[in-house]
Structure 1
Amino acid sequence: MCFMLMSSINDIIVEGRILAKSNKVLVPELISVLGAVHGAFLENNGIIVIGRDYRTDCRMLKRAYTSGAMSTGIDLLDLHSTPLPLLQFCIRRFGASGGVYFTSGHARLEETGIRFFNSLGIEFSKQDMDRLREIWEQKDIKRVDPNSVGRLSSIPHTANVYEKAVPAFIQKELVRNKKLVLDCSYGPSGEISPPLLSGLNIRIIGLNTYVPNVINMTIPSYDSIKEVSGIVKASSADIGVAMDVDGSRAIYFDETGSIADYDQIISMFLLHEKSIKNNRQSPIIASQTVSSIISEVCEGTGQQLYFVNNIPGMISENIREYRGIFGASDTGKFYFAEYGPFSDANLTILKILVIMGETEMPLSKLLRETPKTIKAFKDISIHKNVINNIPHIFNPVNQQFDFNVIDVLYGIKLVFEPGSWILLKPALHRDAIELFAESKTRDMESRMIQEVEEILVSQEKQLGNGDN
């Protein structure tokens, strides 16, 4: 048979996931073969939960995957358009062999990501992805007889079950009458999150909850983030949230419209969240690029802290291995082990609101009272074209850098060496980039800021002047 469209999938595995330009590299013929490879990975036996976001390219590629997986005898449970946490929830609920999710993400326009999950709803490890690569390269696929082709089934009403399951992990009375500005970023969370949260008597101001005809921008965009900030302040809301497209993480705003720093949110959970406080004997799992202040907080609470690489599945696997009670990354993902070994922005929202209700404190005060570390800071006024192109400028696929690039949803983090990083965040109310650097030495902080500033100024000359 005409099998190989490329000899290896190595070039389209980026940061542990399949990622490439849709309908240019990720064509339906290739994704059909990938579905068959996944079926071979499962030894031609199993049930897979599949889902996607709203983009039409994701819909196209999911259908291509479906034909390939079914050809190897794999049964599929189709959620159609769905937030990622609901797919992970369904993997566990239905005892499936795993799952696959198609999303265009937020940072790289026209690039589609394909993410694989095991039977626990945990994203594939490097070893699992290596096995997929090996099957592809060895052409080790076995198609089944026509009578054994897998079945495709829809699973309706799962959202209703999910909407009842998530609130079971909080004290519902503590979130009543809170006011929330919620931007669903044109993602499937727009169908799930508003009814889930409003069903708990949370007052919702919903933004971008519908299905657009065309999505031709990265979302959440810097403009939409500014809008959320302004609406939170103007409406006297208790909190604002701008979700990522897949619903696994979000940007959080306090009642003043200021964006909450992820390290501060982690510290707040460590100090106040009930399941963590009641299980101080259970360790915390965190990505190794979080602020050093997280170690100090854990020392203060007497809780053991394990650092891991922030690669797909790593935090989840270590929560299971070490029986951790909580996991967190500086990319905006928070893992509550009592619920599951994956991040769900809906649960995170509720956990924050519960802490606000328990302490009777606004979010801004809760964050102010978390321990702080001293970071070097610089504010750079720069052309808006450069700000909008930050994900492209620092795209590790396109360019080689002496630092690792981490997408933190609002801005990016550049890690130069262990313990030395710089966070780039667009200013909310003017055309500027804010740089926050942390290292063990002031000299290293200064060198990191200087290097990044030189890159930004160079890009301003190339991009910014084009509109003048």
Structure 2
Amino acid sequence: MMGSIFGTDGVRGQANTYPMTAEVALKLGAAAGRYFRKDGQNRHRVVIGKDTRLSGYMLENALTAGLTSTGMDVLLMGPVPTPAVGFLTRSMRADLGIMISASHNPHSDNGIKFFGPDGYKLSDTAQSAIEELLAGEITPAKPANIGRAKRIDDAVGRYVEYAKTTFPARGLLSGLKVVIDCANGAAYRAAPEVLWELGADVVPVGVAPNGFNINENCGSTSTQTASEAVVSHGADLGICLDGDADRVMIIDETGQVADGDQIMALLAARWASEGKLAGNTLVATVMSNLGLERFLEGKGLTLLRTNVGDRYVVEAMRQGGYNLGGEQSGHIVMTDHATTGDGLIAGLQFLAEMAQTGQSASALTQNFAPIPQMLKNVRFKAENDPLMNGNVQKVIEAGHGKLAGTGRLLIRKSGTEPLIRVMGEGEDEGLLQSVIEDIVGAVDQVVKADA
């Protein structure tokens, strides 16, 4: 019996290691196909996109075999951004969308994300139902009902044209030089094309994928290459995407990096002033900086916090009817434009502010002074949980006491990797560092004892 394999963002792991094997992908495709083809009669279709990892070929073929074995017709998009899969699932009237990607992780990892017919990521209920099917024997389709698979050659073009419609006016970027770092990932074709067709002078970075170099010294988690390109080319802005292009970091003309919190602060304030911010509320996670919360409060706006993960942000947005949310890590969700985080479209909204106001990127990214924040990760064996250790719990409790009234702690297990994430925030940077180091040391001691 196969146990729970879904994490906070689909299924993820090291390629060719459980659960990221061809065998599991085949059965997962069959289970998903059976779940979405409940009637067993009418034909149904599924959209599959992927990033540029070498293992994507293996998983794409295995998923296709599983899906077609239960009667699903498969539409293969090739390398496209994650948000493109959400858009195309809905646009092409598919019952299911699948993105094969491990986002910002190295090439050795991969993942499988599912989207429903509305273009949004699958609910916990739907994922649980698929896992139940995985645990048993999956009934295949009759020979006459086996599905077909075909390549969709214009998938990138469809997304390019849609992304351009979210920008105020063609040609508005004329005279602006933009560095676009595609992380050698899924947006390596789409992003430079969108910016060039909208009138920008484009300097592409990270647009030569080879199956192994995705996110390697480039992209939203490694911004130095793009920062250097902005300065050396005298660019007005840098846009850094991650491997599947659902995250973005903005680099100003001096090479300084602005994270998702600063981008959300800008958009929330501008949208509110124009009466476009639904409920005068921004949805973000517990990781967002306290400075962002104070900035919004100063403008009479509300910050609604959720658990870490863009899918939880989207769930809260849909439940409350809000249209702007995201994560400090660069997921910017604008439900007026997309069903999930879209790094390229978020970058376009930032560029629109630059073009319409005439202000520099540095002026638009300094919306608030961040409260000192520190994040450290400790890798552990997946079968053990250091946070259950009594001494670790005592050290964490002591840390909460030391920061009481001046800061906060957030200690959690990553939903995508075997990591303990220790995040702290406080006005006294020296005290904060001491507290974080104490907790990391206690966790590390338990990990080494279990080795």
Is the pair's TM-score, using the shorter chain for normalization, greater than 0.5? yes
Shift of 1:190: 1.0
Residue 253 of structure 1 corresponds to which residue in structure 2? 251
Looking at structure 1, the residues matched to 347 and 220 of structure 2 have their Cα atoms a distance apart, in angstroms, of: 21
Residue 165 of structure 2 corresponds to which residue in structure 1? 168
Cα separation, partners in 2 of 1:99 and 1:336, compared to 1, 3 Å: same
Cα separation, partners in 2 of 1:21 and 1:187, compared to 1, 3 Å: same
Cα separation, partners in 2 of 1:256 and 1:57, compared to 1, 3 Å: same
Name the TM-score, length of structure 1 as normaliser: 0.79
Q: Is the 8 A contact 2:47 2:97 kept in 1?
A: yes
Shift of 1:457: 11
Written as runs of structure 1 = structure 2, the 5 A alignment for 1:358-397 is 358-368=356-366, 370-375=367-372, 393-394=378-379, 397=382
Residue 144 of structure 2 corresponds to which residue in structure 1? 147
Amino acid across the alignment from 2:425: E
Amino acid across the alignment from 1:147: A
Cα separation, partners in 2 of 1:312 and 1:116, compared to 1, 3 Å: farther
Cα separation, partners in 2 of 1:122 and 1:377, compared to 1, 3 Å: closer
Q: CA RMSD in A?
A: 3.4
Point out the more displaced range, 446-455 or 252-261.
Answer: 446-455
Cα separation, partners in 2 of 1:457 and 1:136, compared to 1, 3 Å: closer
Point out the more displaced range, 185-194 or 101-110.
Answer: 101-110
Residue 436 of structure 2 corresponds to which residue in structure 1? 449
Q: Is the 8 A contact 1:271 1:301 kept in 2?
A: yes
Amino acid across the alignment from 1:93: S
Cα separation, partners in 2 of 1:374 and 1:275, compared to 1, 3 Å: closer
Cα separation, partners in 2 of 1:397 and 1:348, compared to 1, 3 Å: farther
Residue 8 of structure 1 corresponds to which residue in structure 2? 2
Q: What SS does structure 2 have at the residue aligned with 1:240?
A: strand
Cα separation, partners in 2 of 1:455 and 1:55, compared to 1, 3 Å: farther
Shift of 1:147: 0.6
Q: Is structure 2 residue 12 aligned with structure 1 residue 24?
A: no
Residue 393 of structure 2 corresponds to which residue in structure 1? none
Aligned length: 416
Residue 35 of structure 2 corresponds to which residue in structure 1? 41
Residue 339 of structure 2 corresponds to which residue in structure 1? 341
Cα-to-partner distance string for 1:290-319 (whole Å, 9 max, x where unaligned): 122333333333334432223352222322
Amino acid across the alignment from 2:333: Y
Q: Is the 8 A contact 1:98 1:119 kept in 2?
A: yes
Shift of 1:203: 0.8
Name the TM-score, length of structure 2 as normaliser: 0.82
Q: Is the 8 A contact 2:50 2:79 kept in 1?
A: yes
Q: Is structure 2 residue 154 aligned with structure 1 residue 157?
A: yes
Cα separation, partners in 2 of 1:314 and 1:15, compared to 1, 3 Å: closer
Match of 2:84 among 64, 83, 86: 86
Q: What SS does structure 1 have at the residue aligned with 2:258?
A: coil
Q: Is structure 2 residue 115 aligned with structure 1 residue 128?
A: no
Q: Is the 8 A contact 2:240 2:248 kept in 1?
A: yes
Looking at structure 2, the residues matched to 133 and 457 of structure 1 have their Cα atoms a distance apart, in angstroms, of: 33
Q: Is the 8 A contact 2:105 2:215 kept in 1?
A: no
Looking at structure 2, the residues matched to 335 and 222 of structure 1 have their Cα atoms a distance apart, in angstroms, of: 16
Shift of 1:54: 1.7
Q: Is the 8 A contact 1:16 1:129 kept in 2?
A: no
Shift of 1:219: 5.7
Shift of 1:223: 10
Cα separation, partners in 2 of 1:49 and 1:396, compared to 1, 3 Å: farther
Residue 353 of structure 2 corresponds to which residue in structure 1? 355
Q: Which runs of 5+ in 1 are unaligned?
A: 1-6, 379-389, 404-414, 424-434, 459-468
Shift of 1:19: 1.4
Point out the more displaced range, 128-137 or 278-287.
Answer: 278-287
Looking at structure 2, the residues matched to 259 and 397 of structure 1 have their Cα atoms a distance apart, in angstroms, of: 33
Q: What SS does structure 2 have at the residue aligned with 1:133?
A: helix
Q: Is the 8 A contact 1:283 1:323 kept in 2?
A: no
Residue 406 of structure 1 corresponds to which residue in structure 2? none
Shift of 1:17: 2.1
Shift of 1:220: 3.2
Cα separation, partners in 2 of 1:109 and 1:77, compared to 1, 3 Å: closer
Aligned-pair identity in percent equals 22
Q: What SS does structure 2 have at the residue aligned with 1:170?
A: coil
Cα separation, partners in 2 of 1:322 and 1:215, compared to 1, 3 Å: same
Cα-to-partner distance string for 1:186-228 (whole Å, 9 max, x where unaligned): 1131111111110011111111212326448746379963221
Looking at structure 2, the residues matched to 222 and 73 of structure 1 have their Cα atoms a distance apart, in angstroms, of: 39
Amino acid across the alignment from 1:14: G
Q: What SS does structure 1 have at the residue aligned with 2:114?
A: strand
Q: Is the 8 A contact 1:125 1:314 kept in 2?
A: no
Which segments of structure 1 move beyond 6 Å, counting only runs of 4 or more? 415-419, 440-444, 455-458
